[in-house]
C-alpha cells in the first residue's frame, strides 16, 4: 500500500508540542514499569526449577558454613567478643536512616555558646551583644522532677540567614495536614540546659524568655517548636512581636509628635501674640504722639488792634480784664458799633443805661456782644474793641513786639511738632517693619512646622517599613529548637532538569542534597534529587552537597543558566570556607 502524500501541511506549533511534554508522566510510567518488572522477577523465583536450584544452593552454603563453624570455633568466638565490646550500648541501627537534624558539613555548623547560671539567682544573659535570655530563679528540674540547685549550663545558638539554615541541617519543611510547605525564616534558636552533663528541664511556671533580635522585620511569621520525635514542626502561636513593637513605636512616635507639635505651636503662638501686639503699639504710639502734641504750649496769636473809625459810634466800658484777658492789651480801648448792627439807632448813645455787659461775639476774640439794659429796655449790639489816637500807636508797638514773640514761639512749636511727628513716624515704621518681619517669620515657622511634620511622618513611615531589626519574644517551656517562620510553597512556574558538574574537573556530581536559595526571602528549599523548580524573575543561587563537600552556583551563574536554557550547572567547590559566615558571603546575602 502506497503512503498518502501531503503537500504543504500546516506545521504543529511549539506551544502545542510543549503542552504535550510531561516528564513527570514519563517518570511515573517508568516507575510503574519498573515495579511490574520487579514483580515479574519475583515470580521468576516462584518457578519450580528456580526453587529447587535455590534449595540445592542453600544446602551447599549451609554445609560450608557448618564446616567453618566447627573448624574455626575459636577464632569466631574472639570476633564475636570484639564486636560486642565495640558496639555502643543502646545503639540503634542507623545505616540508611539519616539523622533528622543532619548538618551537611559538621565543621561549618553553628557552635553553641555556653553560659553558666546560678539557679538560685536566675540570670539575664546577653548573647553576642544582642539577644537576651531571661532565666527566672529556681527554673529547673532534674529528670526525676526534683528542684535543681547549683549551677546549670545553658547552651544556646541562633540561626539568622540562609547560610545558617544550610549549615545547621535543621529541616525547614513543615507538614500541615499532609500539605508540605517550606519555611521562610525570621530566625531560629536552639537552647539546651545541662547540669553535670545531664539534661535539665524547665518548670512549667518558670518559662525562660528569649528576646531574639531578628533581622527580618515583616509581620507575617508564626512560632514553631521542632518536635524531633514526630519529626515535624509544632505550631505554637502567631508571632505578635512586631505588633507589640509597632505599638511601642507608635506610642514613642505619638510622644515625639506631641513634643514637636508643642514646640512648634509655642513658637507660632509667640509670634502670633507679637503680631497681635503691633496694632496696639501703633495705636499707643499715635496716642502718645497726639498727647505730646497736645502737651505743647498753646500759642495764641496776639490780637491785632483795630484803629477807631471816625464817625462810628463808640462806647467806653469798664471791662473786667480777668474775665476778658484778651482785652488787657486794649487798655483804654473803646467799643465801636459794628456795621452789622443795621438798625442801630444813634439815640442809644444818648441813653444812660443802668447796666452794660459784654460777652463773646459771633467772631470769638474779634467782636463782642454788648447788652445794654434800662428797666425793661434791652439793646443788643455787636461791638469791636478799637483804640484811638496815641493809644493805638502805643498798642501797635506792643502788638508788634508780641507778634514777633508769637512768631518765634510758632517756629519753636512747629520744630517740636516736626520732631514729634518724625519720632512717631519712625516708631510707626519700626512697628510696621516688625509686623512684617514677624508675619514672615510666622509664615516660615508654619512652613517649617509643616515640613517637620512631613519629615517626621516620612521618617515614621520609613522606620516602620525599614526597621533594621525586631525583637521577637520566644517563651521557652522546654529546651529545643524554636523558630519564627512562615510557610512557602515550592516555586511552580518553571523547572530545570539540572545536571551538576564541577567547574574545575568538569566531572558530574552525584548530589547528596540540593539547596535552592531564594534571595528575595530568607528561604532555602531543600530539594530532593530531581528537577529544580523556580519562578522566572526571582533571584536564586544553588548550594549543593556532594561527596560530603559543599558546592555553589552563585545567583549570576544561575541566572545565566536559566537565560541560556541549558541544563548544565557549573559548581564551584567551597573548599576554603570555615564557617556559616563565610558561606553567607559565598552565597552573596
Partner 1 sequence: MLLDAVHMEFSPRYHHTADMLLEEQMIIESAKQNPEHFGAIYDKYYKPIFGYIYQRMDCKETAFDLTAQVFLKALTNLEKYEYKGVPFASWLYRIAHSELMQLFRTQKNLRTVNADIGDLKHICEEAEEEYMEQYKGSLMTVIKQLPEEQLQLIELRFFEKRPFKEIAEIMDLTETNAKVKLSRILERVKILLTKTSK
Distance CA(141)–CA(477), nearest Å, equals 12
Find the shortest distance in angstroms from Cβ 564 to partner 1.
12
The C-alpha cell at 40 is 515479574
Find the shortest distance in angstroms from Cβ 492 to partner 1.
16
Give the one residue of 94, 204, 497, 578 binding partner 1; rule: CB under 8 A: 497
Q: Which of these ranges, 1-9, 168-176, 305-313, 539-547, lies near partner 1 under the rule CB under 8 A?
A: 1-9
Q: Which of these ranges, 22-30, 147-155, 174-182, 195-203, lies near partner 1 under the rule CB under 8 A?
A: 22-30
Q: Which of these ranges, 2-10, 421-429, 444-452, 483-491, lies near partner 1 under the rule CB under 8 A?
A: 2-10
Give the one residue of 5, 48, 204, 390 binding partner 1; rule: CB under 8 A: 5
Find the shortest distance in angstroms from Cβ 498 to partner 1.
8
Does residue 492 belong to the site contacting partner 1 (CB under 8 A)? no
DSSP designation for 310: T
- Window 516-545: contact mask with partner 1 (x via CB under 8 A): -------------xxx--------------
Of 31 and 78, which CB lies nearer to partner 1 in the complex structure?
31
Of 27 and 38, which CB lies nearer to partner 1 in the complex structure?
27
Of 333 and 498, which CB lies nearer to partner 1 in the complex structure?
498
Distance CA(57)–CA(66), nearest Å, equals 14
> Does residue 379 sit in helix, strand or coil?
strand
Place of cell 500546516: 10
Does residue 15 belong to the site contacting partner 1 (CB under 8 A)? no
What are the distances in angstroms from CA 163 to CA 208, 483, 519, 523? 27, 16, 11, 10
For β-strands 532-534 and 513-518, DSSP reports them as unpaired
Find the shortest distance in angstroms from Cβ 558 to partner 1.
16
Q: At what angle do helices 389-465 and 241-295 cross, to 10 degrees?
A: 180
Q: Interface residues for partner 1 in 96-125 (CB under 8 A)?
A: none
Q: Which of these ranges, 174-182, 245-253, 337-345, 500-508, lies near partner 1 under the rule CB under 8 A?
A: 500-508
First to last CA, the chain: 68
Q: Which of these ranges, 12-20, 123-131, 355-363, 468-476, lies near partner 1 under the rule CB under 8 A?
A: 12-20
Asked if 403 and 302 count as a contact pair (C-beta separation under 8 A), the reply is yes
Main-chain dihedrals φ then ψ at residue 384, nearest 5 degrees? -120, 135
Does residue 14 belong to the site contacting partner 1 (CB under 8 A)? yes
Q: In DSSP terms, which residues pair with 534 in a beta bridge?
A: 494
Contacts with partner 1 by CB under 8 A: the residue count is 38
Find the shortest distance in angstroms from Cβ 510 to partner 1.
7
Give the one residue of 15, 21, 80, 505 binding partner 1; rule: CB under 8 A: 21
Does residue 347 belong to the site contacting partner 1 (CB under 8 A)? no
Place of cell 518765634: 408
Of 3 and 325, which CB lies nearer to partner 1 in the complex structure?
3
Find the shortest distance in angstroms from Cβ 39 to partner 1.
15
Number of neighbours of residue 153 by Cβ within 10 angstroms: 16
Give the one residue of 20, 83, 92, 144 binding partner 1; rule: CB under 8 A: 20
Number of neighbours of residue 37 by Cβ within 10 angstroms: 10
Q: Interface residues for partner 1 in 567-586 (CB under 8 A)?
A: 567-568
- Window 157-186: contact mask with partner 1 (x via CB under 8 A): ------------------------------
Burial class (CB in 10 A: 0-12, 13-18, 19+), 385: buried
Taking CB atoms within 8 Å and a gap of at least 24, the contacts of 560-563 are 561/496, 561/498, 562/494, 562/496, 562/534, 562/536
What are the distances in angstroms from CA 139 to CA 64, 115, 157, 195, 552? 64, 15, 20, 13, 44
Q: What is the dihedral of CA 33, 34, 40, 46, to 10 degrees?
A: -150
Q: Interface residues for partner 1 in 71-100 (CB under 8 A)?
A: none
Give the one residue of 88, 237, 506, 578 binding partner 1; rule: CB under 8 A: 506
Give the one residue of 508, 535, 547, 585 binding partner 1; rule: CB under 8 A: 508
Q: What is the dihedral of CA 96, 100, 104, 106, to 10 degrees?
A: -110
Give the one residue of 426, 499, 556, 585 binding partner 1; rule: CB under 8 A: 499
The C-alpha cell at 372 is 445794654
Of 19 and 90, which CB lies nearer to partner 1 in the complex structure?
19
Q: At what angle do helices 23-46 and 48-71 cross, to 10 degrees?
A: 70
Of 2 and 318, which CB lies nearer to partner 1 in the complex structure?
2
Alpha helices in 541-579 (DSSP H): 555-563
Of 25 and 215, which CB lies nearer to partner 1 in the complex structure?
25
For β-strands 499-502 and 568-573, DSSP reports them as parallel
Does residue 248 belong to the site contacting partner 1 (CB under 8 A)? no
Of 3 and 111, which CB lies nearer to partner 1 in the complex structure?
3
Does residue 6 belong to the site contacting partner 1 (CB under 8 A)? yes
SS (H, E, C) 361-375: CCCCCCCEEEEEEEC
Distance CA(587)–CA(568), nearest Å, equals 19
Does residue 23 belong to the site contacting partner 1 (CB under 8 A)? yes
Of 75 and 529, which CB lies nearer to partner 1 in the complex structure?
529
Of 164 and 573, which CB lies nearer to partner 1 in the complex structure?
573
Closest CA to 188 of 239, 155, 231, 223: 223
Which residues, 6+ apart, have CB-to-CB distance to 497 below 8 Å? 23, 531, 532, 567
Of 41 and 350, which CB lies nearer to partner 1 in the complex structure?
41
Main-chain dihedrals φ then ψ at residue 572, nearest 5 degrees? -105, 130
Does residue 459 belong to the site contacting partner 1 (CB under 8 A)? no
Does residue 29 belong to the site contacting partner 1 (CB under 8 A)? yes
Find the shortest distance in angstroms from Cβ 128 to partner 1.
42
Number of neighbours of residue 555 by Cβ within 10 angstroms: 16
Q: Which of these ranges, 150-158, 440-448, 464-472, 501-509, lies near partner 1 under the rule CB under 8 A?
A: 501-509
Site residues, partner 1 (CB under 8 A): 1-9, 12, 14, 17-18, 20-23, 25-27, 29-31, 33, 495, 497-499, 501, 506-508, 510, 529-531, 567-568
Amino acid at each position: 500500500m502506497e503512503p498518502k502524500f501531503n503537500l504543504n501541511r500546516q506545521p504543529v506549533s511549539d506551544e502545542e508540542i510543549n503542552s504535550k511534554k510531561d516528564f513527570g508522566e514519563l517518570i511515573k510510567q517508568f516507575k510503574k514499569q519498573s515495579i511490574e518488572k520487579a514483580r515479574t522477577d519475583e515470580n521468576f523465583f516462584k518457578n519450580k526449577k528456580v526453587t529447587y536450584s535455590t534449595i540445592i544452593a542453600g544446602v551447599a552454603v549451609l554445609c560450608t558454613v557448618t564446616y567453618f563453624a566447627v573448624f574455626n570455633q575459636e577464632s569466631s568466638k574472639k570476633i564475636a567478643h570484639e564486636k560486642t565490646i565495640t558496639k555502643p550500648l543502646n545503639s540503634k541501627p542507623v545505616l540508611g536512616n539519616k539523622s533528622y537534624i543532619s548538618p551537611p558539613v559538621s565543621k561549618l555548623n553553628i557552635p553553641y555558646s555556653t553560659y553558666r547560671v546560678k539557679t538560685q539567682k536566675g540570670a539575664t544573659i546577653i548573647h553576642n551583644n544582642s539577644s537576651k535570655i531571661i532565666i527566672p530563679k529556681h527554673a529547673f528540674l532534674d529528670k526525676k522532677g526534683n528542684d535543681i540547685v547549683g549551677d546549670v549550663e545553658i547552651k544556646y545558638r541562633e540561626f539568622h540567614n540562609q547560610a545558617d539554615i544550610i549549615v545547621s541541617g535543621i529541616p525547614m519543611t513543615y507538614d500541615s495536614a499532609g500539605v508540605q510547605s517550606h519555611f521562610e525564616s525570621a530566625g531560629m534558636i536552639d537552647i539546651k540546659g545541662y547540669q553535670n552533663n545531664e539534661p535539665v528541664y524547665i518548670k512549667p511556671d518558670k518559662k525562660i524568655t528569649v528576646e531574639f533580635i531578628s533581622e527580618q522585620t515583616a509581620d507575617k511569621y508564626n512560632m514553631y517548636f521542632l518536635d524531633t520525635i514526630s519529626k515535624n514542626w509544632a505550631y505554637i502561636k502567631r508571632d505578635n512581636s512586631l505588633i507589640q513593637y509597632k505599638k511601642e513605636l507608635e506610642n514613642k512616635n505619638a510622644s515625639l509628635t506631641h513634643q514637636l507639635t508643642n514646640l512648634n505651636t509655642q513658637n507660632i503662638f509667640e509670634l502670633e501674640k507679637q503680631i497681635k501686639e503691633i496694632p496696639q503699639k501703633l495705636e499707643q504710639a499715635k496716642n502718645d504722639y497726639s498727647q505730646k502734641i497736645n502737651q505743647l504750649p498753646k500759642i495764641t496769636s496776639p490780637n491785632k488792634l483795630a484803629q477807631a473809625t471816625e464817625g462810628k459810634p463808640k462806647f467806653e466800658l469798664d471791662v473786667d480784664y480777668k474775665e476778658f484777658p484778651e482785652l488787657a492789651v486794649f487798655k483804654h480801648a473803646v467799643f465801636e458799633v459794628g456795621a452789622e448792627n443795621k438798625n442801630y439807632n444813634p439815640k442809644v448813645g444818648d441813653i444812660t443805661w443802668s447796666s452794660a455787659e459784654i460777652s463773646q461775639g459771633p467772631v470769638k476774640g474779634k467782636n463782642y456782644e454788648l447788652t445794654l439794659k434800662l428797666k425793661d429796655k434791652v439793646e443788643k449790639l455787636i461791638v469791636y474793641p478799637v483804640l484811638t489816637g496815641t493809644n493805638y500807636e502805643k498798642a501797635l508797638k506792643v502788638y508788634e513786639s508780641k507778634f514777633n514773640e508769637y512768631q518765634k514761639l510758632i517756629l519753636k512749636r512747629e520744630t517740636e511738632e516736626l520732631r514729634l511727628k518724625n519720632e512717631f513716624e519712625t516708631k510707626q515704621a519700626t512697628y510696621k517693619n516688625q509686623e512684617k518681619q514677624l508675619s514672615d517669620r510666622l509664615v516660615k515657622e508654619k512652613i517649617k512646622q509643616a515640613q517637620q511634620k512631613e519629615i517626621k511622618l516620612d521618617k515614621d513611615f520609613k522606620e516602620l517599613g525599614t526597621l533594621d531589626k525586631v525583637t521577637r519574644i520566644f517563651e521557652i517551656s522546654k529546651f529545643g529548637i524554636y523558630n519564627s517562620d512562615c510557610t512557602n510553597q515550592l516555586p511552580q512556574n518553571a523547572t530545570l532538569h539540572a545536571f551538576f558538574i564541577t567547574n574545575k574537573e568538569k566531572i558530574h556530581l552525584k548530589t547528596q542534597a540540593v539547596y535552592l536559595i531564594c534571595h528575595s526571602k530568607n528561604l532555602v528549599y531543600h530539594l530532593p534529587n530531581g528537577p529544580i523548580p523556580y519562578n522566572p524573575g526571582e533571584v536564586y543561587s544553588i548550594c549543593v552537597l556532594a561527596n560530603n563537600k559543599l558546592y555553589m552556583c552563585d545567583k549570576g551563574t544561575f541566572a545565566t543558566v536559566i537565560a541560556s536554557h541549558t541544563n548544565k550547572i557549573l559548581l564551584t567547590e567551597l573548599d576554603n570556607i570555615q564557617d556559616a559566615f563565610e558561606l553567607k558571603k559565598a552565597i552573596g546575602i
